[in-house]
Chain A
Amino acid sequence: MTKEKHPIVTDREPRHRLWLGLVLTLGTAVALGAAYLAAPRENAPLPSAATYALVTALPDWKLLEPVNEVVYGSRGFDTFGETFLLLAAVVSIVVLTRPREPRRGYFGEHTAGEREQHEVDPGEPVDEEERTTRAADTREQGKISSGPEDPDGAPLGTHGPERAESLTVVTRTAIRVAAPILAVTGCYLVAWGYSPGGGFPGGAVLLGVLLLAYAGFGRRRIARVARPGVLETAEMAGALLIIGTELLGLVLVGSVSGNWLPLTEPGTIRSGGIVQLFSVGELIEVGTGLSIAVLEVLSISRDWVPDEEGRESDEDDGQSAGEGGGGR
């Protein structure tokens, strides 16, 4: 009797030390349960930090939103640090998603003798198969598309399949109506100080608008606006605005996060003094930073390491690729 020639391939779900995981999780559950049962309940008095924010928001900052007083006032220095944690995360994503490049050895080593090498050994001419493969690869990366450049240029009522990179004309029209309203609402809430947290939710709204446009119109249409150069410059401008706002407080009133702007009546655009300026900086920083992060992860290139037989790197890398390989 021979075994089955083509065994059924199933997707193995790797699990690891199930019982150890269960014991550790149960231990954590017991510790958390005990801590949470002893935590303050809904009838406990407000902590002093919360009372301070509520009491000082209106008289000291002319703010109707105590959350904004906490974010940009009494906890302003923490927010400053968190902003640069966000910036560090965005920079990490940009570096990680870059196309592969030589990171050791001498730069230019591979290209120094390229011309001479080509003269001595011109190599095989590019045949039809290679051209087809390269064209397919380029198409997959979104550089060439079979449809028109502008999704609105596709004639209505055709029987062809919907294009994957943009949604239907009905959805695109709905997005055209909703996106400007959402963007203006996000900015309005930040500008007039009615949004708890100011720039944080405002920036998330702007990211939502950008992703709505991305889903509706495809990458090529939004690439005219959401260029890396524009977004990265705006993000740095937001960071500089925050640094300037905080440092001027140190210079002018002797304290980082100290207010150095005149306060106006609550509910007006300049109520809160530096809170509004800091909030605008956060709006720019969060909106552009998260946009860069999401767009970079979405467009991470097809940068796969070649199979073992095609690899030219050192032995260690070859071994690891061989062990990890197998077409999973």
Chain B
Amino acid sequence: MIVANYLASAVLFCLGLFTLLTRRNMIKMVMGLSLMEGSTYLLFVSMAYHRASTAPVLESPPHGRTPTQLAHGNAADPVLQNFCLTAIVIGVAVTGVFLAVVVRIAQHYRTLDSDEVREMRG
């Protein structure tokens, strides 16, 4: 029932979105964004899974299988695993940018409440 993983990913995404929409504390907003980002990792890894599949490694396939069999459908999806890998690294760097911006805003405005950062309003 991989669909349970999909739904768990949707719940995580919605929790992050709700945090982002309703909290004004900028640290919590960054946490909400990180939660939304984390939900995509769960989705990618879950979508990469296939019934009775093995890891996409071609050396020493399980007993009774050949590398050719693995290459034709009995392995997990390597493309989605790749998306997940690169997304994690980029996600760390982007969260670092968010946190640096939050620290600078806090130092300048002496608040973490985004409602009080008046110059951001149109």
- Residues of B within 8 Å of A112, CB to CB, are none
Interface residues of A, dominant DSSP: helix
Contacts of B71 in A (CB 8 A): 51, 54-55, 57-58, 66
Contact A328 B111 (CB under 8 A): yes
Indicate which residue in A21, A36, A39 contacts B22 across the interface (CB closer than 8 Å).
Answer: A21
Tell me the chain A residues, 311-328 only, with Cβ under 8 Å from chain B: 316, 320-321, 323-328
Q: Which residues of A contact B85 (CB under 8 A)?
A: 67, 71, 196-197, 200-201
Contact with A along B62-90 (1 / 0, CB 8 A): 00000100111101011111100110111
A255 within 8 A of B: no
Q: A46: CB under 8 A from chain B?
A: yes
Q: Which residues of A contact B116 (CB under 8 A)?
A: 323-324
Which residues of the partner chain A approach B112 to less than 8 Å between Cβ atoms? 328
A45–B50 alpha-carbon span in the complex (Å): 8
For chain A, the bracket of interface size reads 35 or more
Cα separation A265 to B105 with both chains bound (whole Å):
54
A23 to B, closest residue via Cβ: B21
B residues at A contact (CB < 8 Å): 2-3, 6-7, 9-11, 13-14, 17-18, 21-25, 43, 47, 49-51, 56-59, 67, 70-73, 75, 77-82, 85-86, 88-90, 92-94, 96-97, 99-101, 103-104, 107-113, 115-119
**Listed A/B pairs (18) with beta-carbon separation below 8 Å:** A17-B21, A22-B18, A32-B13, A36-B10, A46-B73, A49-B79, A67-B78, A69-B78, A71-B86, A92-B100, A93-B100, A200-B88, A290-B93, A305-B108, A305-B110, A316-B119, A324-B109, A324-B116
Besides the known contacts A55-B72, A200-B85, 15 further A-B residue pairs in the complex with CB atoms under 8 A apart: A16-B21, A36-B3, A40-B47, A43-B50, A50-B79, A54-B70, A58-B67, A85-B93, A266-B58, A286-B89, A300-B103, A304-B110, A323-B116, A323-B118, A327-B110
